[in-house]
């Protein structure tokens, strides 16, 4: 388990710091992570001849991460392969992962060629907005689904909507699906109370 965590952290840092065939950068990571919700990480690697399908199956069906990804709202996918990895194969891997997520999910993918991966391919993915009972627990999942349906039925595209305030103060009040927050601006910074 420690090795998986170490490889994942290393993979994330290399994904956004090392040059790639198709680059991912910090802005891509922020775009996906800003969508919020529970995030899970997937890692898969294979040397199989049918590597495009096998690496996706390996990542999505990892025994330590028994999670239902169908409700995920975002994904950052990074594919690493040897000189034998074609752009078409990399795109096929990204598409196979995207097909397993919510239809409106925002997926950003990148690919890197490394000599030591000759004959094999590795995929690392971060999925956000996961609504799986295996991660959230059954009660939390029901609450998350109810909140999501409430937001969608009211036509809100984000998690927060402004609420009118009265008075002459600089503070404004926001309503979210988690309760009420008071915000005020001090020295150009938003302060949440």
Is residue 43's pLDDT more than 80? Answer: yes
DSSP of 5-56: HHHHHHHHHHHHHS--SB---HHHHHHHHTT-SEEEEEEEEE--TTHHHHHH
Query: Bigger pLDDT: 185 or 130?
Result: 130
pLDDT band at 161 (very low <50, low <70, confident <90, very high): very low
Q: How far is CA 54 from CA 1, 58, 114, 121, in A?
A: 22, 6, 19, 9
Nearest to 41 by CA among 80, 78, 14, 71: 78
pLDDT digits (tens, 9 = 90+) for 103-131: 888 899 999 999 999 989 999 888 888 87
Look at the domain 1-130 and name its fold.
60s Ribosomal Protein L30; Chain: A; (3.30.1330)
The reported pTM is 0.64
Contact assessment for residue 123 and residue 107, using Cβ atoms and an 8 Å cutoff: no
How far apart are the C-alpha atoms of 139 and 145, rounded to whole Å? 10
For the chain, give the mean pLDDT.
75
Contact assessment for residue 36 and residue 127, using Cβ atoms and an 8 Å cutoff: no
Instruction: Pick the range with the lowest mean pLDDT from 32-41, 107-116, 182-191.
Output: 182-191
* Dihedral sign, Cα of residue 136, residue 137, residue 139, residue 145: positive
pLDDT digits (tens, 9 = 90+) for 166-177: 444 444 444 444
Q: Which residues contact 92 (CB under 8 A, 6 or more apart)?
A: 52
Nearest to 32 by CA among 98, 123, 115, 118: 98
Indicate the domain borders of the chain.
1-130
Is residue 154's pLDDT more than 80? Answer: no
Nearest to 175 by CA among 191, 163, 193, 158: 163
Contact assessment for residue 44 and residue 60, using Cβ atoms and an 8 Å cutoff: yes
How far apart are the C-alpha atoms of 188 and 31, rounded to whole Å? 23
């Amino acid at each position: 388990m420690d090795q998986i965590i170490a490889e994942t952290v290393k993979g994330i840092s290399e994904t956004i710091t090392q040059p790639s065939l198709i680059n991912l950068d910090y802005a891509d990571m922020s775009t996906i992570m800003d969508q919020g919700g529970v995030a899970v990480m997937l890692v898969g690697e294979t040397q199989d001849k049918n590597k495009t399908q096998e690496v996706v199956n390996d990542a999505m069906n990892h025994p330590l991460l028994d999670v239902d990804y169908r409700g995920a709202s975002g994904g950052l996918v990074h594919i690493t392969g040897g000189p034998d990895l074609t752009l078409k194969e990399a795109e096929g891997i990204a598409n196979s992962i995207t097909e397993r997520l919510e239809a409106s999910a925002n997926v950003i993918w990148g690919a890197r060629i490394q000599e030591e991966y000759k004959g094999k391919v590795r995929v690392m993915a971060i999925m956000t907005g996961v609504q799986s009972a295996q991660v959230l627990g059954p009660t939390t999942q029901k609450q998350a689904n109810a909140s999501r349906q409430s937001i969608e039925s009211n036509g809100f595209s984000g998690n927060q909507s402004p609420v009118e305030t009265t008075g002459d103060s600089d503070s404004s009040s926001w309503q979210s699906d988690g309760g009420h927050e008071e915000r005020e601006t001090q020295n150009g910074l938003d302060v949440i109370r």
